[in-house]
């Protein structure tokens, strides 16, 4: 069932419940008040007749002579009010003229209440119509003198109630029909923008053009927010696809160079394989190309595992050991660059020692690569309140400000450099830092040097012993 139909149904059902409840309540209250009003006027009229009788008679005379003088009933009756007076046995002794010879009914129930000296009010059939009949005994002391009956046909009230009922039922039906029509129209109007969004989104999908965006309505409502969210999603999808495309381009580009080297050297081996010196040279070139490929493949594998949510083998570790290992391994690469151990605060962190070493060696390797002979690279550890900062500072070429924000991107390399690399090292380093809830940042001044700073949270008990 579409939202449009569901909304309309909800809305119309709610309105129906409200209208029906209101109509039932209104009808009940009206019926009750009309009947009570009629009963009250009958009682009042009977009271007037009784007072009239009392004014004309002395109760003692009535008892003594058994004669009762009665007032003229047409004074009390009206077009629709009928009056009848009976004696103590229920025999009619006077009727209002508008009864025209007919009698008001006296049934057993009325006689019983006459004898019990109780007034009674009830609806009785008279001919084809119904009448509200109030019968009140005339009592003097302990004696029943007779009974006054006042009746009023309920036809008028019933007619009024019928008219009101008709009005309520037809009104409810008309209101519901109108509400359905207006509701359908309103829901159509308010859902139309969603349809437009769906259409545009469909067009974008079928055109496979993730550069397109949905138009955002100027209002700041749910639909504007929906469009903005979809646009954001499109942007992320677009970035993701572009990254995919870039990745395969970058990977194939990266693999092409070593493959070309290998192929060239295999050719050389085939043609001039006799000379041991040539062979050695060709094999060395092949080996270094293979190493480069192996490194690239393992870097890519690591990054894809990182993307897939790989978790590290975290445990409490002393940084001293890690720093020392990194420093020793870096010695093998130093290539005429002086390696210094700077400030070395002891610190314990929760981490994966191998990954942290990989990160730091990467920073050291980069620093050494980009520092000319005679320059220096300093590795330092500083403790602060709840974290530790490990910095790798070099006196090398530095990084131009326009490149600095991008060096942690995958496959980003500063062009035209003497030293070549895949551009994945810093991306991996950053991922390792973040997997440790840490950060990796770079500061650099071209011509003076760069400093890479790894910040890691200290192990909790280490923070306490420190404090
Ligand atoms: P690569 O494996 O190519 O070195 P990285 O991700 O490690 O890739 O580094 C990205 C780029 O950042 C490099 O191309 C290099 O230009 C720059 N870079 C990294 N470290 C330094 C440094 N210590 N000094 C100068 N430039 C650096």
pLDDT tens figures, 184-205:
999 888 888 888 888 888 888 8
Average pLDDT estimate for 433-460: 95
> Helices H, strands E: what count in the chain?
10, 12
DSSP 225: H
Q: Exposure pattern of 260-290 as b/e (b: 16+ CB <10 Å)?
A: ebbeebeebbeeeeeeeeeeeebeebbeebe
Q: What is the pLDDT of residue 261?
A: 92
| Ligand 1: centre distance to CA 180 (Å) | 68
pTM of the model: 0.57
Residue nearest to atom 16 of ligand 1 (CA): 414
| Ligand 1: centre distance to CA 402 (Å) | 14
Average pLDDT estimate for 51-79: 69
DSSP 406: G
Q: Beta strands of 60-115 (E only): which ranges?
A: 82-87, 92-95
Looking from the CA of residue 424, the nearest atom of ligand 1 is 6
Q: What is the pLDDT of residue 466?
A: 45
Pocket of ligand 1 (CB under 6 A): 366-367, 370, 394, 396-397, 399, 407, 412-414, 417, 421-427, 450
| Ligand 1: centre distance to CA 219 (Å) | 47
High-pLDDT (> 90) share of the chain, %: 52
438-448: pLDDT as tens digits: 999 999 999 99
Q: Which among 366, 370, 419, 433 is the best mutation to test ligand 1's pocket, defined by most ligand atoms within 8 Å of the CB?
A: 366
Residue among 368, 243, 371, 352 at smallest CA distance from 307: 243
Q: How far apart are CA 26 and CA 440, in angstroms?
A: 75
Residue among 200, 203, 207, 188 at smallest CA distance from 227: 200
| Ligand 1: centre distance to CA 263 (Å) | 28
Q: Enumerate residues 6+ apart whose C-beta is below 8 A from 458.
A: 347, 348, 349, 383, 386, 387, 388, 466
Q: What are phi and psi of 276, to 5 degrees?
A: -60, -35
Residue nearest to atom 21 of ligand 1 (CA): 366
| Ligand 1: centre distance to CA 398 (Å) | 10
DSSP 90: S
pLDDT band at 341 (very low <50, low <70, confident <90, very high): very high
Q: Enumerate residues 6+ apart whose C-beta is below 8 A from 52.
A: 71, 75, 76
Q: Beta strands of 315-436 (E only): which ranges?
A: 315-318, 338-344, 348-351, 376-383, 387-394
- Using DSSP, state whether 308 is helix, strand or coil: coil
Looking from the CA of residue 394, the nearest atom of ligand 1 is 23
Count of Cβ atoms closer than 10 Å to residue 399 Cβ:
20
17-32: pLDDT as tens digits: 999 999 999 999 999 9
* Poorest-pLDDT segment among 117-121, 250-254, 269-273, 442-446: 269-273
140-183: pLDDT as tens digits: 778 888 899 999 999 889 999 999 999 999 999 999 999 999 99
Looking from the CA of residue 417, the nearest atom of ligand 1 is 16
Residue nearest to atom 20 of ligand 1 (CA): 366
Crossing angle of the two packed helices 222-272 and 155-207, in degrees rounded to 10: 20
- Using DSSP, state whether 335 is helix, strand or coil: coil
């Amino acid at each position: 069932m579409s939202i449009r139909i569901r909304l309309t149904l909800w809305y119309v059902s709610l309105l129906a419940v409200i209208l029906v409840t209101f109509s039932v309540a209104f009808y009940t209250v009206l019926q009750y008040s009309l009947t009570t009003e009629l009963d009250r006027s009958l009682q009042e009229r009977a009271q007037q007749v009784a007072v009239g009788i009392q004014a004309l008679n002395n109760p003692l005379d009535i008892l003594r002579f058994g004669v009762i003088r009665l007032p003229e009933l047409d004074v009390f009756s009206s077009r629709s009010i009928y009056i009848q007076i009976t004696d103590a046995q229920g025999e009619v002794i006077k009727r209002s003229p508008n009864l025209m010879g007919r009698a008001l009914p006296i049934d057993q129930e009325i006689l019983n209440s006459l004898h019990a000296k109780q007034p009674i009010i009830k609806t009785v059939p008279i001919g084809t119509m119904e009448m509200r009949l109030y019968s009140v005994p005339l009592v003097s002391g302990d004696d029943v003198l007779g009974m006054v009956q006042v009746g009023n046909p309920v036809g008028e009230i019933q007619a009024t109630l019928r008219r009101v009922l008709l009005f309520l039922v037809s009104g409810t039906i008309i209101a519901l029909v109108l509400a359905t029509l207006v509701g359908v129209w309103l829901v159509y109007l308010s859902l139309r923008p969603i349809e437009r969004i769906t259409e545009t989104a469909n067009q974008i999908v079928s055109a496979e053009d993730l550069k397109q965006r949905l138009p955002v309505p100027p209002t700041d409502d749910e639909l504007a927010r929906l469009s903005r969210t979809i646009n954001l999603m499109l942007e992320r999808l677009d970035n993701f696809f572009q990254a995919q495309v870039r990745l395969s381009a970058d990977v194939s580009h990266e693999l092409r160079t070593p493959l070309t080297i290998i192929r060239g050297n295999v050719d050389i081996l085939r043609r001039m394989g006799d000379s041991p010196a040539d062979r050695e040279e060709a094999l060395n070139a092949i080996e270094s190309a293979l190493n480069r490929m192996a490194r690239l493949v393992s870097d890519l594998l690591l990054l894809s595992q990182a993307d897939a949510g790989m978790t590290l083998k975290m445990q409490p570790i002393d940084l001293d050991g890690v720093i020392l290992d990194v420093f020793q391994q870096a010695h093998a690469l130093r290539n005429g660059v002086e390696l210094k151990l700077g400030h070395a605060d002891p610190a314990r962190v929760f981490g994966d020692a191998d990954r942290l070493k990989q990160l730091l060696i990467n920073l050291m390797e980069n620093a050494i690569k980009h520092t000319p002979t005679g320059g220096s690279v300093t590795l330092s550890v500083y403790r602060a309140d709840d974290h530790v900062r490990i910095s790798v500072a070099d006196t090398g070429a530095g990084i131009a400000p326009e490149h600095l924000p991008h060096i942690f991107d995958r496959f980003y390399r500063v062009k035209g450099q003497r030293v070549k690399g895949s551009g994945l090292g810093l991306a991996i380093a950053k991922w390792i830092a973040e997997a440790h809830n840490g950060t990796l940042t770079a500061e650099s001044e071209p011509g003076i040097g760069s400093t890479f700073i790894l910040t890691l949270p200290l192990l909790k008990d280490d923070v306490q012993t420190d404090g």
